[in-house]
Amino acid sequence: MSHEDDEKGCMCGKGVTRRQFLTTMGVSGVAVAAASLGGEKEARAAVIRSGEATRVSLTINGKIHRLLVEPRWSLLYVLREELGLTGTKVGCERGECGACSVLIENAPRYACMTLAVEAEGMEITTIEGLMDGEQLGAVQQAFLEHDALQCGYCTPGQIMAVEGLLRKNREPSLDEIRRGVSGNVCRCGAYTNIFKAAKRAGELKRRGGA
């Protein structure tokens, strides 16, 4: 059968061309999807409406913050734009670079991938929370000593990843350190010094550093 016959003739003996079949299926698919979504539209609108705020209570760096947030707001947005905690950086905003890392219940999490409403009732620590007044925390001090940064943009997230690791294990191996920061990208390639800083921070913590 020629291409022309295939287009004009019957593929299945019932007088429907391939083009007609695909067109019909496309229209049918849209109709089914529309029918399905139509039934859910009102319910979904009732759950989340753009601009509609809800009250949350967030415990950040030991302090309770009560505020109104939209359900769609990420924790990253709330930290920076609503609370002014700009140490947490905006990077890829899709959970790939780690620049926005914070600790939630002592475990590193991407703030860009966490809704603010999800974090209610949990202990959140940002890089600002590692300091004691003007005194640097152990990981921050170690990063300074070992020059574990170049441009510095990823550094807050790297520090939080190391902090989370050391809260579980104050004497990690090099492989454990590598795994601990594997979710954080340093485009400058300062990994060697980051690993050294993590080792040093573990020493400082074992000596009683925060």
Q: Which CATH number fits domain 133-210: 1.10.10.10, 1.10.3720.10, 3.20.20.30, 1.10.150.120?
A: 1.10.150.120
Taking only the tens place, the pLDDT of each residue in 51-103 is 689 999 999 999 999 999 999 999 999 999 999 999 999 999 999 999 999 99
**Domain range annotation of the chain:** 3-47, 49-130, 133-210
If you average pLDDT over residues 191-203, what whole number do you get?
Answer: 98
Q: Which CATH architecture has domain 49-130?
A: Roll (3.10)
Task: Provide φ and ψ at 181, rounded to 5°.
Answer: -105, 10
Kind plus residue range of the DSSP H or E element containing 54: strand 54-60
Taking only the tens place, the pLDDT of each residue in 119-145 is 999 999 999 999 999 999 999 999 999
3-state secondary structure of 83: coil
Residue 85 has which token pair? 């905690």
pTM: 0.76
**Are 177 and 109 in contact, with CB atoms under 8 Å apart?**
no
